[in-house]
Amino acid sequence: MRHLAYASGIVLKAAGVLLVLTSAIIRIGGRPNSRLFLITGILCFTGGLLLKRASHLKRCHRCSEKVERDATQCHRCGIDIPASSVESMSQPFYKK
């Protein structure tokens, strides 16, 4: 179910961006009735952000597999996943 929420969040974010761009194109074209597209686009994008965040998943930086947010190791490639971005920047990018 979490993977479905993650994917739905991505789709809603993309739809929101496309609706806002459509609104801008209609507005530039001289038609002032683009407010509905703009509001719907903003709502879709915000809903997508919330769904993606609520799924509690993140991507492995090595194999791009979706893993739990608090996982310490990827179940597909076995690499250790840092808990935060600060921790990942402090680790060397090469293995000895």
15 pLDDT more than 90: yes
In this structure, what token pair is assigned to residue 76?
Answer: 């597909």
Determine the 3-state secondary structure of 57 from DSSP.
strand
Q: Nearest-CA neighbor of 68 among 77, 57, 55? A: 57
Side chain identity, residue 75: H
CA 81 to chain CA centroid, Å, is 19
Q: What pLDDT digit, counting tens, does each position of 23-62 carry?
A: 999 888 888 778 888 899 999 999 988 887 777 777 777 7
Are the CB atoms for 35 and 43 separated by under 8 Å?
no
Whole-structure pTM value: 0.61
Rounded CA-CA distance 45/57 in Å is 18
Q: What pLDDT digit, counting tens, does each position of 71-87 carry?
A: 778 878 888 776 665 55
